[in-house]
Amino acid sequence: PELRQDPLTREWVVIAPGRARRPRQVPEPTTAPTRPAVTEPECPFCPGNEDRTPEELWRLTGADGTWDVRVVPNRYPVLSAGPGPARRRMDGPFISADAFGAHEVVIETPRHDLDLPDLDEAAATNVFAAYRARSRALRAIRPGLVLPFRNHGQTSGTSLRHPHSQIIAVPVVPPKYRQRFDIARAYYDDRGSRLHTDVTAAEISDGTRVIAASDHVVAFAPFASTAPYEMRVVPREAEASFADVADETLAETARMLRRLLAAVRGLLGDVPYNYLILSAPSGEECTAYFSWHIEVLPRLTVAAGFELGTGMAVNPVPPEQAAARLRRAMARPADSGR
Ligand code: UDP
Ligand code: ZN
């Protein structure tokens, strides 16, 4: 793969022909039972098939000696492992760079049939412990960006059903990301306080968009939500990078995500979504400026000409309404179907 920068936007694009070869398992045949088996013989992430993902980057072993979570290199990586920093090549207005970095898969559970909201709290926490451990290792690639994310459902990009997330480390700071960081830093320079902390405090005091809160984390539908049922999960006591999150906050974050995703499923059914764990750019983890946060984006609308042309999202569900519905869904007992 190769990184290329569009001279008109300064946005980086990964040209990755190897990605076209990855297997697609979704959708499964319509005649298949609605509930998948505990293990699938053909699934590369199921127990018994570990020889298909032999290189293990991280693992959590249970009391019985079998694995609870495994992190392995992505077999069809968007970025390939290699030495940094990303040396630029210039050809007139065109800039390109080697697409080294990392692309890893977090196999969240040995159970093929359990999705993240179905895991118990300890198992969900293990998944977030994997994000933290790998974020710590991958921030050595800098300047750059470490991003754990989860795709769920067909239109969110999932090609494999076994519960999994991915972690990428890119060797450049994308301009949109740079802008977020710069906004937070400028805010600090002006006011001497952290933007994310002030926004969270304002959301809590307004209250209409708060979905759930615990000792260390808060979930709300952002004031300017770009999508229906968009949710943001933020820590009360912030670290700039998820790599530095404390144990208790990590466990509460896992619990919160699990409950939010269960609420989304209870309210809207098994809709596609993505979540992203955003941290300060690697090497710029000053706690005064930035706080890591999680964006959960259900995929219920499709961006068309207006959105693509203006960069302005059109969101048909006011976040106050989304939050009220999500609060009610969270108060209901867990999904009985599972
Ligand atoms: N994959 C892998 N080993 C395999 C089969 C698949 O590493 O034997 C990877 C595949 O490249 C893909 C990921 O597992 O990146 C599955 O990810 P997901 O379905 O979330 O979305 P995708 O990345 O395909 O858009
Ligand atoms: Zn499986």
Q: Which CATH number fits the domain that encloses residue 76?
A: 3.30.428.10
What are the tens digits of pLDDT across the range 146-163? 999 999 987 666 678 999
Is it the case that residue 238 has pLDDT exceeding 90? Answer: no
> Residue 202's Cα: distance from chain center in Å?
25
| Ligand 1 proximity of 44 Cβ (cutoff 6 Å) | yes
Probe target for ligand 1 pocket from 53, 76, 149, with the most ligand atoms within 8 Å of CB: 76
The residue out of 114, 149, 172 marking a domain boundary is 172
For residues 78 and 184, membership in a common domain is answered with: no
Question: What ipTM goes with this model?
Answer: 0.94
The residue out of 118, 141, 172 marking a domain boundary is 172
pLDDT bucket at 242, cuts 50 / 70 / 90: very high
Is the residue at 121 inside a domain?
A: yes
The pair of three-digit structure tokens given for residue 265, joined into one six-digit string: 């499923």
d(CA 138, CA 169): 6
d(CA 73, CA 164): 12
Closest ligand (CA of 40):
2
Q: What residues have a C-beta under 5 A from ligand 2, the ion?
A: 40, 43, 45-46, 112, 162
Peptide bond into 163 cis (omega under 30): no
Is the residue at 336 inside a domain?
A: no
For residues 17 and 166, membership in a common domain is answered with: yes
Q: Tell which atom from ligand 1 comes closest to the C-alpha of 158.
A: 19
For residues 168 and 212, membership in a common domain is answered with: no
d(CA 47, CA 108): 12
294 alpha carbon to ligand 2 midpoint, in Å? Answer: 26
Name which of 160, 166, 164 is nearest 43 in CA terms: 160
Probe target for ligand 1 pocket from 40, 46, 51, 105, with the most ligand atoms within 8 Å of CB: 105
Is the separation of the CB atoms in 260 and 275 below 8 Å? no
For 200, the domain range is 176-331
d(CA 290, CA 239): 8
What are the tens digits of pLDDT across the range 3-27? 999 999 999 999 998 887 777 655 5
For residues 144 and 215, membership in a common domain is answered with: no
Number of domains in the chain: 2
What are the tens digits of pLDDT across the range 79-93? 988 766 788 999 999
Name which of 228, 119, 101 is nearest 171 in CA terms: 101
Closest ligand (CA of 43):
2
User: What one-letter code names the amino acid at 227?
Assistant: A
Closest ligand (CA of 104):
1
Is it the case that residue 222 has pLDDT exceeding 80? Answer: yes
d(CA 265, CA 259): 10
Query: By 3-state DSSP, what share of the chain in percent is helix, strand and coil, each rounded to 5?
Result: 30, 25, 45
The residue out of 128, 147, 172 marking a domain boundary is 172
The pair of three-digit structure tokens given for residue 126, joined into one six-digit string: 């293990």
d(CA 285, CA 173): 13
Probe target for ligand 1 pocket from 26, 40, 80, 159, with the most ligand atoms within 8 Å of CB: 159
Three-state DSSP at 184 gives helix
Is the residue at 246 inside a domain?
A: yes
Is it the case that residue 98 has pLDDT exceeding 80? Answer: yes
| Ligand 1 proximity of 225 Cβ (cutoff 6 Å) | no
